[in-house]
Amino acid sequence: MLHLVLRLQKSAQLRASGGDVITDCILILSETRAMTQTFVDTIPMLPFGMLNAFLISRGDRAVLVDTGLPNSEPKIEKALNARRLDWSNLTLILLTHAHIDHAGSAARVQMRSAAPLLAHHDELPYCQGEPPRLRPSGPFGRVFYRTGAIQRPFEAVTPDVIMTTDGFDLSEFGIAAQVLHTPGHTPGSVSVLLEDGRVIAGDLAASGILLGGIACRARPKSPPFEEEPLHVVASLQRLLSVGGRAFFLGHGGPLSAKAVQRHCDALRHRFTPRV
Ligand SMILES: [Zn+2]
Ligand SMILES: [Zn+2]
């Protein structure tokens, strides 16, 4: 806001000195819009959309969704700087779940910024170092599992805010959005639903090839591991029913609501027991 006040003062000075009033008005309008608009920036943690974290920002307040693999702090700082923000602008760090590729830098980011870190209660064991239950969703998951990359331990993290209910309002952190408990990929997975229907869904779905991303990014798929596929279906259906229209994902994405519905139908068909 201070920035805008300074800008208005500068505009008045410009007008007094015969400056270009129309150009200046346009600049002020675009700056005002930038301060009231909610941006969702993808932070590329690996190239080609293979692994993403997200920065949601509005004006000078920002919420970080996921922290990437260990040592990802410079990538997060770069994303903040691209919005003319720094660590002090972070109001919340949020983990969609606690696999190493999403929570690997959480403890370091928590130390680096003054922002509290939020995770769901049911994800606490994974936050604190319990090996995740990894159920490969297909051939790539089985091969990937053998590499041991996903089972590597990472620095344990203790959340400051533990989500125990089904919904959590982000308005006090500067963002018009809700965090919803969306289990399935892991027991304590959460998604962020913005009021305009954009969703950050972590690993509730993926798109592309192999780990995700790379090519065919409009094509939905399961991530390499998925604990409870039918719980994933229920969680995705719920996000669709409350207005989810664009799904930003940890691997690949974004996906349209139509593609997510297609993925739900395929999972339901594959995993519903036949009688
Ligand atoms: Zn995961
Ligand atoms: Zn992941």
- In the reported structure, the alpha carbon of residue 99 is separated from the centroid of ligand 2 by a whole-number distance in angstroms of 6
Reading phi first (left if > 0) and then psi (alpha if -120 to 50, else beta), residue 208 is in left
Is the CATH code 1.20.1250.20 the one for domain 39-271?
no
- In the reported structure, the alpha carbon of residue 31 is separated from the centroid of ligand 2 by a whole-number distance in angstroms of 35
Report the alpha-carbon distance of residue 151 to residue 145 in Å, rounded.
8
- In the reported structure, the alpha carbon of residue 242 is separated from the centroid of ligand 1 by a whole-number distance in angstroms of 23
Exposure letters 46-67 (e unless 16+ CB within 10 A, then b):
bebbbbbbbbbbbbbebbbbbb
* pLDDT tens readout for residues 113-154: 999 999 999 999 999 999 999 899 888 888 888 888 888 899
Domain boundaries, the chain: 39-271
Closest-lying ligand to the alpha carbon of 189?
Answer: 1
pTM equals 0.88
* pLDDT tens readout for residues 216-254: 889 999 999 999 999 999 999 999 999 999 999 999 999
| Confidence band of 215 (pLDDT split at 50, 70, 90) | confident
Of 21-25, 137-141, 156-160, 186-190, which range is least confident?
21-25
3-state helix/strand/coil string of 185-199? CCCCCEEEEECCCEE
- In the reported structure, the alpha carbon of residue 105 is separated from the centroid of ligand 1 by a whole-number distance in angstroms of 14
Mean pLDDT of 256-269: 97
DSSP state of 44: E
- In the reported structure, the alpha carbon of residue 20 is separated from the centroid of ligand 2 by a whole-number distance in angstroms of 50
Report the alpha-carbon distance of residue 166 to residue 232 in Å, rounded.
15
Closest-lying ligand to the alpha carbon of 137?
Answer: 1
DSSP state of 201: -
Q: Of all residues in the chain, what percent carry a pLDDT higher than 70?
A: 87
Report the alpha-carbon distance of residue 22 to residue 28 in Å, rounded.
10
The dihedral through the CA atoms of 98, 196, 55, 256 has a sign that is positive
- In the reported structure, the alpha carbon of residue 257 is separated from the centroid of ligand 1 by a whole-number distance in angstroms of 21
